[in-house]
Each structure stands twice: as structure tokens, then as C-alpha cells.
Amino acid sequence: MCTAAVSLLGAFLLVAVHASQQPIAHALRFDEFATLRHRLYPSHAVRVKKTKHCDGEVNAYSGYIDNEAKHLWFEFFESRRDPANDDIVFKTNGGPGTSSALGLYMEHGPCLFLDETGPQRNPYSWNERANVLYIHQPVNVGFSYAEHGESVYTTEEAVRDIAAFITILFDSEHFVHLNLAAPGRKLHMTGESYGGRYIPLFASAILDRNAQRVQDGREPISLVHHARRLVSIHDWLLRNAVYCSTWRSDAYHTNNHLRQDETSASTMLQRSAKHVHRSLCPFHVRSPTAAMRFQQSGDYIRGSYEYIASLLERGVRVLAYNGAYDFVCSWSGTQRWTDALEWSGAEAYRATKLQDWEVDGQSAGWWRGASGMTFVTIHAAGLWYEREAAPYDKPKEALVMLQRWLDGGKF
């Protein structure tokens, strides 16, 4: 299924959750999990502990979101700059069925596995400017697992676990030193590939939960939304789905280098996974089972555009970005769906024109934006096997894009 490239970096649901100011009851440890719960989600729990990472500059945490027999793996890295005040970036890959380890270990994580020599410190890590949270979802993806073969079939099902996780984490006394829910602090939700389907729904669920937070006397979570490669909203896409799917397959077989890159990346990540934690469940860079479940349910052909329009109407900023060399679904497709989006700021957005944005005095891509909607391209990016992985091809430019987005979205 061909999807349009949308980067929802700007549309994080910014829900400022009131963090408890009481002393931490139990400091997080390296050798055992602390279990976090929340009355709004009685069937969910978050197990978390400190973890050692190749980037010794910052605190790092890892654990599971537990929902009965389903367990989603996450890793959380504090900002290198100012963890107590920098925004929070939530990151998921797409697929569906692709592990966020791809983003963490090969694109924009604190340490990268780019060759056989092992982890290398990444000077362009996104935690140069933000606290970054990577999650392996849905269940059976990456280190996430189910005890009895449970699966998730739709994005709507996946939403429940993510909304519970964010609420539990933001309200936890174990992270009081970070004050995650401080007023004015923003949560940026970002996804690539099928993440463009996930993120609008995840953000909407968190925003919907804010009403309950206000009733409970807590600050709402402040949300911003960022997604890369959204499922297209156009009938044009459906009419051309067969062609696009065929072109995608043919494109792979006409260039062996692309196929070799994919194999190499998967192999390195498998080795990286063993290096990270030998006692974890089996690791899957990509889960064919998860992908099949979403295909069987018809989730593949459901759009998310109405959620994006709703988020914009509710004051949530949205960033859609593409690597200019993404050959599966081009930046022009993203420009078309953003132009077709209907919301109160649509006229102002459509009146904007593409213009250069620069890094170190050189053109890094094009951008346009108005009324909370921003569209960005990155030159010479999108060649890696994931195609939409602009941070892999252009790590410095991707970090600058993130920084400018966090600073208000002016490029």
C-alpha cells in the first residue's frame, strides 16, 4: 500500500500533566523494575528501570507497558542539553510492524550501529535538544511481545495502550525531577512511514483525555503532532494503489544495492539487540504478523486526515516532512494532501509558497506553512532502504529541522 509522506513532528499533543511535587517514593534502579499505575487505566501498568547505554552523558530508562498479557517495550533518553526543561519527543516507526529500533540505532538515537565496530556516539541525536521516548509498537514488534499470541489489528486498538502509557508516565512521581507535565512543556509525537496513520490518532486520544485531567485538577498535556508519510486521504491514491504497489516491488528488484542495504541494516540491528539486552524476548526488526493483522482488518486503507484537521482546529501544530528522494511516495504527494486538507486555516496555508530553508548557509530543502500546518522537505534524503528515513541520509539537517520546529516552526 502506497502512503503519502507526512512528518507530524509539529503536531505533538501537548498535554501538560501536573506532576506531583512530593519527594520520589522509590528512586529508579538499574537492577529491578519499578511498577507505575494510574486509576484511569486499571488494566495497564508501566514497568521501568534505569538502563546503561553507550551514551553515558545522560540518564536512560527502559521497560514495558503492560496490558494484561501484552507488553510493549520502550526506551527513554534524557536531553543532553536541559532535561528538566526541554520538550519531550515521542517516536514510533511505522510498517505497520517495523521496530522503532531502526530510528533509535540507525537514524537519530544517542548511539548508532552503523557498521561492525559497535555503537558510536551520535552528535546529531535528537536528544541533543529534547527528551526522547522510543516505543516498539504494536505488540509483537521489536522487543514487544504477547504471552499467549495476542495481537493488535487496528490503529484504534493500539491507541489505548499509548494513551495509558503517556498518562501513567507523565503522572509518575518517579520522574518528578524531569517535571514532564509542567505547564508550557510540550509533548511532540512523531512517526515515520505508517506512523503517519498512528500519530494523529495517538495525539487525538491524549488530547481527548485532557478534559478528564482538568476535572481531576491536573494540567492538560500540551501536545504537538509530527508525522512522516501519512496514509493518503485522496481517492487518487486508491485508484493507483495497484500501480504504486507494483512500482514499489519493481523498484526494489531493479537496484540490488537497496535490497543489500535492507539486509545489512536488519543484520546489524539484530546484533545490536543482542548487545542491548541478552535476556529480553526475541527481537524482530519487522514483524510480518503485525503487518498482516493490520492488512486483514482494513486499517491500511483508512485515512487519518480528519484527525489532523481536528488537531489543527484544536490548536495543535502539525509538521509533515519528506526526504526529497523518497521514491515510493514523493514529497509532491504530501503537498497535495496538505493542500486538500479542510480546516479553518486551509485558505491561509494554501496561499503559501515553497521557499528555501538553510543550514550553514546552504539550502537544506523547501518549506511552507501557515495556521499551524507546516510542510518541509530535505534535499538528497530518502535514499536509505526505509526511504522515509531522512535522518539517516541527512542527520544534521534533520536535527536542525527538529530544533527549529521546537523553537516555534519558523524555517
> DSSP characters for 261-323?
HHHHHHHHHHHHHHHH-TTSPPPBSB-HHHHHHHHHHTGGG---HHHHHHHHHTT--EEEEEE
Q: Which residue has the higher pLDDT, 328 or 106?
A: 106
What is the mean predicted confidence (pLDDT) over 15-20? 29
Question: What pLDDT sits at residue 103?
Answer: 86
- Tens-digit pLDDT profile for residues 376-385: 999 988 755 4
Under the banding of pLDDT at 50, 70 and 90, the label for residue 53 is confident
Question: What pLDDT sits at residue 150?
Answer: 83
Question: What pLDDT sits at residue 23?
Answer: 32
Cell 496513520 locates to 197
Question: What pLDDT sits at residue 254?
Answer: 36
Angle CA 243–248–252, to nearest 5: 145
| Low-confidence winner among 22-31, 43-52, 55-64 (lowest mean pLDDT) | 22-31
How, if at all, do strands 373-378 and 318-323 pair? parallel
User: What CA–CA distance (Å, rounded) separates 151 from 160?
Assistant: 13
**pLDDT more than 90, % of the chain:** 34
Of 71, 46, 43, nearest to 61 (Cα)? 46
Question: What pLDDT sits at residue 333?
Answer: 86
Q: b/e map of 347-369 (b: 16 or more CB within 10 Å)? A: eebeebeeeebebeeeebbbbbb
Q: Which residue has the higher pLDDT, 401 or 196?
A: 401
Question: What pLDDT sits at residue 383?
Answer: 59
Under the banding of pLDDT at 50, 70 and 90, the label for residue 189 is very high
Under the banding of pLDDT at 50, 70 and 90, the label for residue 16 is very low
Helix (H) or strand (E) holding 124: none
Cis geometry, peptide bond prior to residue 119 (ω within 30 degrees of 0): no
Q: Which of 306-320, 350-364, 384-398: highest mean pLDDT?
A: 350-364
Under the banding of pLDDT at 50, 70 and 90, the label for residue 329 is low
- Please determine, for residue 65, whether its predicted confidence score (pLDDT) is greater than 80: yes
User: What CA–CA distance (Å, rounded) separates 4 from 230?
Assistant: 5
User: What CA–CA distance (Å, rounded) separates 3 from 8?
Assistant: 14
What is the mean predicted confidence (pLDDT) over 168-179? 71
Residues ≥6 apart with Cβ < 8 Å to 264 = none
Question: What pLDDT sits at residue 311?
Answer: 93
Q: Which residue has the higher pLDDT, 265 or 65?
A: 65
SS3 (DSSP) at 211: helix
Residues ≥6 apart with Cβ < 8 Å to 118 = 275
Note the Cα 71 to chain centre separation in Å. Answer: 18
Note the Cα 79 to chain centre separation in Å. Answer: 17
| Low-confidence winner among 65-79, 105-119, 201-215, 357-371 (lowest mean pLDDT) | 201-215
- Please determine, for residue 115, whether its predicted confidence score (pLDDT) is greater than 50: yes
- Tens-digit pLDDT profile for residues 401-410: 999 999 988 8
User: What CA–CA distance (Å, rounded) separates 196 from 225?
Assistant: 10
Helix spans in 143-239 (H): 155-171, 195-215, 235-239
Average per-residue pLDDT for the chain = 76
Question: What pLDDT sits at residue 154?
Answer: 86
Question: What pLDDT sits at residue 408?
Answer: 87
Which residues partner with 90 through β-bridges?
Answer: 133, 189
- Please determine, for residue 234, whether its predicted confidence score (pLDDT) is greater than 50: no
Note the Cα 358 to chain centre separation in Å. Answer: 24
Contact in structure between 88 and 188 (CB atoms under 8 Å): yes
Residue 250 — left, alpha, or beta (φ > 0 → left; ψ -120 to 50 → alpha)? alpha
Homologous superfamily (CATH) for 8-232+250-314: Alpha/Beta hydrolase fold, catalytic domain (3.40.50.1820)
**pLDDT more than 70, % of the chain:** 70
Question: What pLDDT sits at residue 409?
Answer: 81
What is the mean predicted confidence (pLDDT) over 28-49? 88
Under the banding of pLDDT at 50, 70 and 90, the label for residue 122 is very high
Q: Which residue has the higher pLDDT, 222 or 377?
A: 377
Contact in structure between 322 and 330 (CB atoms under 8 Å): yes
Q: Radius of gyration (Cα) for the chain, nearest Å?
A: 20
| Low-confidence winner among 210-224, 238-252, 347-361 (lowest mean pLDDT) | 238-252
How, if at all, do strands 88-92 and 131-136 pair? parallel
Question: What pLDDT sits at residue 180?
Answer: 67
- Tens-digit pLDDT profile for residues 238-256: 333 333 333 333 443 333 3
